[in-house]
Structures are given as structure tokens and as C-alpha cells.
A and B are shown apart, each in its own frame.
Chain A
Amino acid sequence: MMRTAYLVALKDLRIELRSRVLLWQVLPFGLMALVLCGLAVGPDARQQSRIAPGLFYLVVTLVALLVINRSSQIESPRGTRTSLLTLGLDAGGVFLGKAAAMLVQLFATATALLFGTTVLLHVPVHAALVTLPIVLLATATLSAAGVLYGLVASSSSSSATLLPVLALPAFAPILIAGERSFSSLISAGSLSRWVLLLIFSLVAYGSIGVLLYGALEES
């Protein structure tokens, strides 16, 4: 399973490295969304700093939708999925591989956006640095859930519009947990329950993905 995961992750990342969609399309979209959030809130630096964690996770969630869509599009050309199926790869491994590749892309984008948040929305640099492990956990959860929702939506001709409808409500708890933990770090509050919620979500999506990805692929 791990060997399959490694190969699939490597394949997805190589495709990304060659196409550079993340660098030239997804990242600029995220930064633009962050700038627009700043404009919508107004020039009050204290107000911006207060709601920055929520805006940051909102933008990360929107960026995640693009990354998920991109990841499921890789297998969209006719016959690609069938070819993958005939290879007899372990379905759980394929799921883990796709999730790992998505995690690398999402975490890289989120880190860049976090830097943007410190500059544009006046978040203290130390809080942004300390929150990085939680961002990693949140993006891992988004990736595990995203691979599943991406595949569920991919069968339809209207997958680009269907994906947000399916995934955004499921991402709400991740957004809340991420925002609360980031705010707790800024205001020195307790964040253990939010980290626990993210870990539980990651384990739940990871287990369901390993178990059910095969059933989804076959359909």
C-alpha cells in the first residue's frame, strides 16, 4: 500500500511540477482572495488582525477546492481511470498517494498565504509561525476529505459546480477548528479540543478513504 501511495504521490507531484498550475493560477487566486478580504473588512488594522484567522482559513478552504478539482482532473481524460484500475494498484494506496500529493500542494500554498496574512492583515509573526503545525494538520484533513469528495463529484459533467456543494459543508468543522486554534494562539487561549477535532476528522476521513476509495474507483 505504501509503495503504491509513494508512486501515485510522485506521479501527481510531477504533473504539478510540469504544469505549474499551483504556482501560476492557484497561489495568485489565494493571494487575490486575501487582498479582497482585506478590502472588504476595511483599513482598520485591529479589526483586520482580529478576524485574520477566519479569513485565512476561508481562503485556504477556497484554494482547497481548486486543488481538489485539479487533482481529480488529472484522471479525467477518457480511459485514464480504467487504465489505473487495470494496473491492479491497491485502492487504499492510491487514496493515500493522492492525499499526500494534495497535502504537499495545499500546505505549500497555505504557508505562502500565512505569510500574506502577516503582511496584509497584521497577524503577529510568532503566532503565524507557531500555528504552522496546526495548518499542516488542517491541510492534511482537507486533503483526505478532498480526495474523496473530488472523486464523488468527478463522475458528473457538472463536477466543477457540484464539488463545492458537496465539500464546503463538510469543510465547515475544519474551518472552525483551524480558525479557533489560530485565534487561541494569538490570544493565548486553549486549543487542545480544536486540535483533537482536527485529529479525529483526519483519522475518520483517512480510514473511510482507505476502506471506500476502491468502491468509488470501480464505479
Chain B
Amino acid sequence: MKKLTALILGPVALVTTLITLWMGYFVTPADKVQGELARLVYIHPAQAWVALYLSFGTATLASALYLWPRTRSVTADRIAAAAVEVSTVFIALTLITGSIWGRPTWGVWWVWDARLTSTAVLGVLMLGYLALRRANDDPLLRARRSAVFAILTAINVPIVHFSVVWWKTLHQGATVFTDNRHLKIHGSMAWTLLLSFIALSLDFAWLVRARYRVGSVSAANESADLEAALEARRTEAGA
């Protein structure tokens, strides 16, 4: 099963992403008001979904599993670390694509809008997580402190969200999940939007899996290096 997932996940993610791009560029029409700029909707919301919900959810769940003594494992720690790394990339992409949309629409690259600000703050928190992991050499210490920090970051998500929403907002409202449950997007545009969510979620899964494997291999190499160094010392002492 694991081998099958490894074999098909990457190609499926790639093909889905390519189909999304093809539909976004060639199948869907330009928007009546925003023109070609509206095509960003096929990438930007899906990036935000991965950056803020999927990866945060994965990292928090994996961290909680690590902190719970019965489910504690190196796997949970590595999955959390991989999810946060991928999340940081997606947060950066979300901010960049949002900025590209904001420049012609709002006239500036950056505004102190609620969603932009909260996403940026969460991005800095993610950078903090990565800095924390690099600041500790002891794997157990690193894993436990990173897990606690991930949980703290998770409780920060609603706090940051509401603080900046109440503070100031300019960002447009929901396109799909509106308050009165009426879709604001239809036809090929709606299907492409849906496909983009699936494609980027698959990309996320593939990237987390790849990063997890890199983490496992580098940990194995580190312990092999340590073993080799100890063996060399023993040989020296014996000679």
C-alpha cells in the first residue's frame, strides 16, 4: 500500500495540477469585471486552503500525537516538521499571488487588510517554528518543544484571525461558501476552482511525503555517521 501510494501520488498530483492550469488558462472564460486577472482564483484560494488549514491541521494533529505519551513517535514529529515547512512555502505563495492580484485591483502591492496581515503573521510564526527546530541539536528536546510551539501556534490561528478581521478588512468575501449558500461562481469556473483545491491538496500530500522521507534519510545518515565516528575511536583506542 505504501509503495503504491509512493508510486501514484506524485504523478497524480502532477497531472491534476497540469489539468487545473490548462482549464484555468484555456477552458474558462475571462471574468466580466476583472478580466484575465480573475484566473488567479484558480490558484490563490487553493494555496490559502493548503497553507492555512490543511498544513496547520496536519502539523497540529501530528504535534498533539507526539505530545500524547501513547502515540509518541518520531514519525509524528517528522510529519509535523514536514507539514510546517510545506506550509511556509504555501503561505509565501499565497501572499505573492495575493499581492499580484492586489496591485491592479487595489493599486498597491500590500495593504493592511485583515487576511493579508493574519496570513503574514502566521507565516512569521511558521518561520519561528523552523528557527526553533534549527536551534536545538538534541532530537528529543527539539521534538517536544516544537510540538508545544505548534500547539501554541494552532491556538493563535483563531486569535490572529479575529484580531485582524475586527481591526480592518478590505479582502473580498467568500466566493463559494457564502452566508446565504448561493454560489457566486458557476460552470467551468466552478469546476476549475474545485479541481484546484484537489490538485494543491495532492501537491501538499506529495511534498510532505517527500520532505518526511528526506528527514528520515538525513536522520539515518546522522546516526550512521555517529556510529562510524564511534567505531573509529574504538579502533584507535584498540590500536
Q: Which residues of A are in contact with B by a Cβ distance under 8 Å? A: 145, 148-149, 152-153, 155-159, 162, 165-166, 168-170, 172-173, 176-177, 180, 193-194, 197, 200-201, 204-205, 208, 212, 215-216, 218-219
Contact = CB atoms under 8 A, between A and B. Distances in A.
Interface in B115-136: 121-122, 124-125, 127-128, 131-132, 135-136
Nearest to A159: B135
Contacts of A148: 148, 152
Contacts of B128: 162, 165-166, 169
B167 A212 contact: no
Given A173-B160, A197-B163, A219 B145 contact: yes
Nearest to B163: A173
Which residue among B136, B140, B156, B159 has the maximum number of chain A CB atoms within 10 Å of its CB?
B159
A158 B128 CA distance: 13
Contacts of A177: 163
Interface in B67-101: 67
Interface residues of B, number: 30
A2 to B, nearest CB: 23
Given A162-B131, A166-B131, A208-B152, A172 B145 contact: no
A159 B136 CA distance: 10
Interface centre among B67, B122, B167 (most CB of A within 10 A): B167
Given A155-B145, A162-B131, A204 B155 contact: yes
B201 to A, nearest CB: 26
Contacts of B162: 173, 197
Contact of B159 (A162, A204, A212): A204
A157 B131 CA distance: 12
Contacts of A170: 125, 152-153, 156
29 contacts: A152-B145, A152-B148, A152-B149, A153-B135, A155-B135, A155-B138, A155-B141, A165-B127, A165-B131, A166-B125, A166-B132, A169-B121, A169-B125, A170-B125, A172-B160, A180-B166, A197-B166, A200-B159, A204-B155, A204-B159, A205-B152, A212-B151, A215-B67, A216-B144, A216-B145, A218-B144, A219-B140, A219-B141, A219-B145
B111 interface: no
Nearest to B66: A215
B135 A173 contact: no
A83 to B, nearest CB: 18
B121 A172 contact: yes
Q: Which 7 A-B pairs have the closest CB atoms?
A: A173-B163, A156-B135, A219-B144, A169-B124, A166-B128, A169-B125, A173-B159
A166 B164 CA distance: 19
Contacts of A200: 159
Interface string B159-174: 1101110110000000
A159 B128 CA distance: 12
Contacts of B163: 172-173, 176-177, 197
A152 B125 contact: no
Given A152-B149, A158-B135, A194 B144 contact: no
- Looking at A145, A148, A149, A169, the one whose CB has the most chain B CB atoms below 10 A away is A169
Contacts of B138: 155
A157 B138 CA distance: 12
Given A216-B145, A219-B144, 11 more contacts: A155-B141, A156-B132, A156-B136, A162-B135, A166-B131, A173-B159, A176-B164, A177-B163, A197-B163, A201-B159, A215-B67
